[in-house]
Amino acid sequence: MTIRELLDRTGWKNDNPDLDLSRNITGGYAGDLLSWVMGRGQPGQAWITVQVHRNIIAVAALREFSCIIIADGASVPEDLVAKAEEENIVILESGMPVYETAVTLSKLL
């Protein structure tokens, strides 16, 4: 499934509409402890988190995640969106709790 297909099926918000949405999503990873995610996340996964500080962009780039999904209504600041665009990292907002976001993603993959 591509990021575009995920957006079409969920209606989640895309904070970076000008970035490449054709990247494949191979799985999902949910976690908020950055060092834990860095050690366990796999390339191509969609990362589900409530973290909204700039360090998540570095982790997503390092692990080569397909995108970041911000869950639970966490407010995404503009500087995070700008940094994500610099690094070509797509940020989505589900608005749902982490568990429901993960279940939704899992059912679609």
pLDDT at 33: 96
88 pLDDT band, cuts 50/70/90, is very high
98 pLDDT band, cuts 50/70/90, is very high
Q: For 11-58, what is each residue's pLDDT tens digit?
A: 999 999 999 999 999 999 999 999 999 999 999 999 999 999 999 999
Architecture of domain 3-108: 3-Layer(aba) Sandwich (3.40)
pLDDT at 10: 98
- DSSP for 20-85, written as a single string: ---PBP-EEEE---HHHHHHH--TTEEEEE---STHHHHHHHHHT-SEEEE-TT----HHHHHHHH
Angle between helices 55-63 and 78-86 (to 10 degrees): 30
d(Cα 65, Cα 59) in Å, to the nearest integer? 9
9 pLDDT band, cuts 50/70/90, is very high
- Contact between 32 and 12 under an 8 Å Cβ cutoff? The reply is no
pLDDT at 95: 96
Q: How many CB atoms lie within 10 A of CB 72?
A: 16
